[in-house]
Structure 1
Amino acid sequence: MTKVRLTRRELVASLGAAGAVAAVPPAWAKQLLPPKRRIVPGAFNDGVASGEPAQNAITFWSRLETSRPRSGARLVVATDPGLRKVVAHATVPTGRGVNGALKARVGGLKPHTEYYYVWESGTNVSPIGRTRTAPPPGAAQPLTFGVSSCQSYGIGYFNVHADAAAIPDMDLYLFLGDYIYERAARKDALRGDDIDAVDLATYRAKYALYRSDPNLRELHRVHPIAHIWDDHEVENNYSDNNPAPALAQRYAGYRAAFEWLPRMSFPRDRHRIYRQLSFGAFADVFLADERQYRTGSNDDQPRRMLGDAQMNWLIASLKASRATWKFVANEVVIASIDYDGSRNGDAWDGYPDDRARLLGEIERSGIDNVVFLTGDAHVFMCSLLASDFSTFGDGTTRKPAGVEYVTGSVTSLGKDTPEATIQAKSPWNREYNARDHGYGRVAVGPDQLVMDYIASDTQTPGAASAMIERFTQPAGANSVARESHVAARNV
């Protein structure tokens, strides 16, 4: 997409009648908007973003740097790159209380339509963003998703984000957790990061540092996204009580995530992130939260990954889905994996009863084509799933409950155990590669799913990306065919 910048005069000239409707968070509108709804001077140095696409609505985001304690900016949404065919515009409030974040949910849009948008202050115009709405219910529209996790700023360059940003027709990009790393990087790190995030000010500073990466900003500019957090958005391996960061620290991490990402909050549950996104006939995406509802780490409580309310919601939603493919955006590995003599108790291996319940309900209800898209492990991996993994070796043939695709980290380091060692102890595993870094690209249709693993060097800015693995999954089978691209592994 060619980057176009408008002058304020050109933008104002393009504004006319608009049929779509913009809504802003109610609390912001009451507290932050100047009495005369002024559009004040300010800059948009952190770029633009969009997210949570529905068939007729999108959430738009930016951040206004201004000296005013309360301020506002104008959002303009159009159907053409030059923003001449405007369909919505609104004055959106912000202020110091929300760190200059600008956020609006625009409804009344057309299904599966590309839109362009821009933010205007009293002195500046943001870069022009591009986004698209989801297909309507029942629409037989092929889809493309991107998937990544674990982007540690200090360790390397986010080169694969440039590859994802260059795809012209991506319907959704999923960030599966560890969007930031809360601790400062080592003094000898490739890129400087001396921020230890422990309170609201330092979490905000951490997001600002990460958003300074040009490839991450570009990815946000051109694709709608959804984000689920894992541990490093707050504290490494935290759960309900192991360790238990102070509530003030936890809520500071959650608040910063809401401020910096294009996500709207639930009116009566402000920290809830689990929800469903639907994409026509072929895909429903279920965003899970596998951190804030955990219980049972250091006491006599049952060990729960999702909590009762979220577990009941997920099971009921999977049963109700009529989409061909049901994607669970999953923070931590759900397959049982023996990592050469050890297991990850912070993942679903530490919560076996919850895992057996979820996968057992999928098996008993005959829910087809459940796909877990997973981050956290810093490894490209693919595994077949079952409520009881011992059935893979008991000599009988059973249809797996689903398939899990784990995307390699964007930059974070992994333990490169040989694949043969993993598969000898976990025979349901179909791939294990902790050497490479990158993201996953999913193509979805009525008859099959194709997952491509894309990798890039992280130590050289601007390094090219290449496909290193391809998995093809026929609809209804819960099995995969692997196609390895060995020659590309020298990226």
Structure 2
Amino acid sequence: MKFLAVLASLTVFALGADRASTSVVPGIEDNYLLSNIAYRSPSLTIGTSGLAHDIDAIVRREAADLLRRRDFVKRASGTGVDNPTSVGTNGTYTAALAFPYGIASGDPLDDSVILWTHPEPADGKAQDLPICLKWQVSSNAKKPTWTKTDIIQQGNVCTTKDVDWAVKVEAKKLRARTTYAYRFLSSDKPAGNASISPVGNFKTMPTPTDSNVASLDLAVFSCSNLPVGSFASYARAYDKASSLDYVLHVGDYIYESGARASAPPGRQMEPDHEIVTLDDYRTRYKAYHRIDAGLRSLRASNAWLPVWDDHEVADQAYKAGTADGNDTFPVRGVRFTERKKNAVKAYFENMPIRQVDTSDTLRIWRQFKVGTLADLNMIDTRQYDRDVTDLYYNTAYIESISNDTARSLMGGKQENWLYDKLAASRSTWKVSKEFATNPVPIVQNDLNYDAWDGYTANRGRFYDAIRKTDNVIILAGDSHAAWVFDTEDPYHEQIYDPVTGKGAIAVEFAGTAVSSSSSYGSLSKAGYADRAQKLTQANKNLQFAEGEHRGYFTLHITPKATTAKYWAINDNNNGASPETLLATFEVKKGANKLTRPINGGRNSTAGALQSVEWDQSSWDGKTFTRKAKSA
């Protein structure tokens, strides 16, 4: 591949046919920079967005750099100055490459998927040359031989310093509901001599009208804080990779905070300060991907469907600021608007996600249809258009406006989109990532105004929407504890019966953190158990609470039922730690509540269930009389 020819081709593409005569070298059809979505994500708009790149400007710069390099080599010839062996005559980096940040796939559709990687020189030395790769997709998912028979799609792609050498491509013309293997390799050498990435797998979605999807298996994660503990949750899910269809990360994939004195060896934050600049955010993602092998393995083994929460930008982020800054009060000299742009750009460069709406620079909310079995609604409850939240110093003010009908957790545009999707859905299950919608106070008015308690009218509108349909499953993270609810609607006359579950309008599964510290605080084992017990006793629709362990949960969805399994990491400081099954929960089609008895009538391994002998408990509409379950 002649990079100068590529550049000329891209110049023609960018400037239009009427300026084609400006080409230095005849153009070719393959547009290797334009195929890299990292230059365009999340928007096609260059102008005021500051998120997309001016491809024409990059083309001109690289062409000029190549000519300067050639002139230097020509003038240096015979003077004893070496021609660097890492620079090919085509102007790209030609020495050995490494893939220390792994590979990833994500946002699968029935006929395409996004593939990601981030190459760098194998010798670890910084350089400014473009890097070009070939990507390949094999139909032999288990043991690809990468022969012509195996390879069903492939292409070339280039990357430059403008996107920190990130590579994102869309592999198209794939078969629905099919598992594939994929890899990247240096494109300037035969396969036998090329630098080759690890091999990964992904599965395409069924077609939206496919009514023969027998099951859907998901692993759900949130809140991965690098220096707080290991990411053993990712490693244990990787052990199940062959039985999983997709991985959902519902937010706080990274944290913005600085170094921690208590960080385990080798897991310190990079850079060591609170991140605000584009280079800061890029460095943080690279640290996560380089340091944790479990994360790299799971990103490679299954297609991901991620969405952000607040810490991908900063703590308590909303549309106009964070807990520690806004456009009036910058953090480390960077105003909020610029900081948010930096964070969003780095997220799109490092996560295998699509451009959802190229005219909307912040839209990440999107829907995936898994045949007619399930809709997966990935909702943004933080960055898009969220009204001011509890910033720690304004709690009383947020409480005073929490019932304002105009307040929104999602923004009006996203709200209407979600309600329309729920109303129009013909799928059996409607799965939506949200905040946990039910408050869980131990004492009256002990509320969380950073969640739905600060947006009660919005919660009421959401309840109105889900009450009109069946089989809604709500997924949540953020709280660093595990919860399972029958969703009770306090705004409606229907009375919820905690014994039978009658009156519930949906079921909520909220997962604990991958590593972030428990929201219960630092307690003894007995203290964690006691707090979980008090929470379930104080909240009759809270069917399970657990705050001691870090972990994740899995979902097995069939046309007849959805089953959730909650997994706990035994030792959060050990990346090789085994896991323990805490409890299992079932929701039958049409029930809109958890199947009784909860967890099959067994006690959970940790935490607290409502812990009742259901046939010996009573509910008279006012008083819930429990019969404690014996051990």
Q: Does the pair score TM above 0.5?
A: yes
- When structure 1 is superposed on structure 2, of 236-245 and 383-392 the one drifting more is 383-392
Shift of the 100–55 alpha-carbon distance from structure 1 to 2, 3 Å rule, reads same
Query: Helix, strand or coil: the match of 1:311?
Result: helix
Using the TM superposition, give the Cα deviation of residue 369 of structure 1 relative to its aligned residue in structure 2, in angstroms. 0.6
Partner AA of 1:180 in structure 2: I
Number of the residue aligned with 2:78:
none
Counterpart contact for 1:392–1:427, Cα < 8 Å: no
Number of the residue aligned with 1:419:
532
Partner AA of 1:434 in structure 2: G
Q: Does 1:49 align with 2:104?
A: yes
Counterpart contact for 2:502–2:593, Cα < 8 Å: no
Q: 1:152 aligns with which of 225, 243, 253?
A: 225
Shift of the 474–431 alpha-carbon distance from structure 1 to 2, 3 Å rule, reads same
Number of the residue aligned with 1:470:
584
Question: Relative contact order, CA 8 A, sep 6+: which one is greater?
Answer: 1
CA–CA separation in structure 1 for the residues paired with 2:309 and 2:604: 33
What do you get for the CA RMSD once the two structures are aligned?
A: 2.5
Partner AA of 1:448 in structure 2: A
CA–CA separation in structure 1 for the residues paired with 2:313 and 2:107: 22
Q: Map of 1:22-37 to 2, 5 A cutoff?
A: 24-25=36-37, 27=40, 30=55
Using the TM superposition, give the Cα deviation of residue 29 of structure 1 relative to its aligned residue in structure 2, in angstroms. 9.5
Number of the residue aligned with 2:183:
118
Number of the residue aligned with 1:179:
253
Counterpart contact for 1:399–1:477, Cα < 8 Å: no
Q: Does 1:226 align with 2:305?
A: yes
CA–CA separation in structure 2 for the residues paired with 1:290 and 1:140: 33
Using the TM superposition, give the Cα deviation of residue 75 of structure 1 relative to its aligned residue in structure 2, in angstroms. 0.8
Number of the residue aligned with 1:381:
483
Given the two structures, how large is their TM-score scaled by the length of structure 1? 0.89
Using the TM superposition, give the Cα deviation of residue 389 of structure 1 relative to its aligned residue in structure 2, in angstroms. 6.0
Shift of the 381–250 alpha-carbon distance from structure 1 to 2, 3 Å rule, reads same
Q: Map of 1:11-410 to 2, 5 A cutoff?
A: 24-25=36-37, 27=40, 30=55, 40-41=94-95, 42-66=97-121, 67-80=127-140, 81-84=144-147, 85-121=150-186, 122=188, 123-136=194-207, 137-141=209-213, 142-167=215-240, 168-190=242-264, 191-193=267-269, 194-212=272-290, 213-241=292-320, 243=322, 244-245=325-326, 246-265=336-355, 266-292=357-383, 293-297=385-389, 302-330=406-434, 332-340=435-443, 342-363=446-467, 365=468, 367-388=469-490, 399-410=503-514
Partner AA of 1:92 in structure 2: V
Number of the residue aligned with 1:446:
559
Counterpart contact for 1:23–1:106, Cα < 8 Å: no
Measured against aligned partners, the alpha-carbon deviations of 1:206-240 in whole angstroms (never above 9, x if no partner) come to: 11111120000000010000111111111111213
CA–CA separation in structure 2 for the residues paired with 1:398 and 1:444: 22
Using the TM superposition, give the Cα deviation of residue 426 of structure 1 relative to its aligned residue in structure 2, in angstroms. 2.1
Query: Helix, strand or coil: the match of 2:484?
Result: strand
CA–CA separation in structure 2 for the residues paired with 1:69 and 1:339: 59
CA–CA separation in structure 2 for the residues paired with 1:327 and 1:368: 11
List runs of 5+ in structure 2 lacking aligned partners. 1-33, 41-52, 64-89, 122-126, 189-193, 327-335, 390-396, 521-527, 608-631
Query: Helix, strand or coil: the match of 2:555?
Result: strand
CA–CA separation in structure 2 for the residues paired with 1:216 and 1:444: 24
Shift of the 320–23 alpha-carbon distance from structure 1 to 2, 3 Å rule, reads farther
Counterpart contact for 1:340–1:421, Cα < 8 Å: no
CA–CA separation in structure 1 for the residues paired with 2:306 and 2:505: 25
CA–CA separation in structure 1 for the residues paired with 2:287 and 2:349: 14
Using the TM superposition, give the Cα deviation of residue 304 of structure 1 relative to its aligned residue in structure 2, in angstroms. 0.9
Partner AA of 2:386 in structure 1: R
Counterpart contact for 1:392–1:428, Cα < 8 Å: no
Shift of the 465–307 alpha-carbon distance from structure 1 to 2, 3 Å rule, reads same
Number of the residue aligned with 1:8:
none
Counterpart contact for 1:195–1:205, Cα < 8 Å: no
Counterpart contact for 2:110–2:177, Cα < 8 Å: yes
Using the TM superposition, give the Cα deviation of residue 169 of structure 1 relative to its aligned residue in structure 2, in angstroms. 3.0
- When structure 1 is superposed on structure 2, of 142-151 and 77-86 the one drifting more is 77-86
CA–CA separation in structure 2 for the residues paired with 1:116 and 1:208: 24
Larger Cα-atom Rg: 2
Number of the residue aligned with 2:572:
458
- When structure 1 is superposed on structure 2, of 169-178 and 417-426 the one drifting more is 417-426
Shift of the 189–24 alpha-carbon distance from structure 1 to 2, 3 Å rule, reads closer
Counterpart contact for 1:53–1:59, Cα < 8 Å: yes
Shift of the 458–390 alpha-carbon distance from structure 1 to 2, 3 Å rule, reads farther
CA–CA separation in structure 1 for the residues paired with 2:203 and 2:496: 47
Measured against aligned partners, the alpha-carbon deviations of 1:275-321 in whole angstroms (never above 9, x if no partner) come to: 00111121110010111211144798832101111000000011111
Using the TM superposition, give the Cα deviation of residue 353 of structure 1 relative to its aligned residue in structure 2, in angstroms. 0.5
Partner AA of 2:139 in structure 1: T
Query: Helix, strand or coil: the match of 1:177?
Result: coil
- When structure 1 is superposed on structure 2, of 83-92 and 240-249 the one drifting more is 240-249
* Residue correspondences, number: 466
Counterpart contact for 1:355–1:387, Cα < 8 Å: no
Shift of the 335–387 alpha-carbon distance from structure 1 to 2, 3 Å rule, reads same
| Percent of residue pairs identical | 26
Number of the residue aligned with 1:483:
599
Query: Helix, strand or coil: the match of 2:352?
Result: coil
CA–CA separation in structure 2 for the residues paired with 1:222 and 1:94: 24
Counterpart contact for 2:387–2:407, Cα < 8 Å: yes
CA–CA separation in structure 2 for the residues paired with 1:346 and 1:185: 25
Query: Helix, strand or coil: the match of 1:483?
Result: helix
CA–CA separation in structure 2 for the residues paired with 1:169 and 1:92: 31
CA–CA separation in structure 1 for the residues paired with 2:166 and 2:321: 32
Counterpart contact for 1:468–1:486, Cα < 8 Å: no
Counterpart contact for 1:152–1:181, Cα < 8 Å: yes
CA–CA separation in structure 2 for the residues paired with 1:318 and 1:487: 33
CA–CA separation in structure 2 for the residues paired with 1:182 and 1:76: 34
CA–CA separation in structure 1 for the residues paired with 2:377 and 2:113: 17
Using the TM superposition, give the Cα deviation of residue 51 of structure 1 relative to its aligned residue in structure 2, in angstroms. 0.3
CA–CA separation in structure 2 for the residues paired with 1:424 and 1:389: 22
Shift of the 432–259 alpha-carbon distance from structure 1 to 2, 3 Å rule, reads same
Using the TM superposition, give the Cα deviation of residue 454 of structure 1 relative to its aligned residue in structure 2, in angstroms. 0.9
Given the two structures, how large is their TM-score scaled by the length of structure 2? 0.70
CA–CA separation in structure 2 for the residues paired with 1:472 and 1:394: 18
Shift of the 431–37 alpha-carbon distance from structure 1 to 2, 3 Å rule, reads farther
Using the TM superposition, give the Cα deviation of residue 23 of structure 1 relative to its aligned residue in structure 2, in angstroms. 5.0
Shift of the 296–445 alpha-carbon distance from structure 1 to 2, 3 Å rule, reads same
Counterpart contact for 2:488–2:541, Cα < 8 Å: no
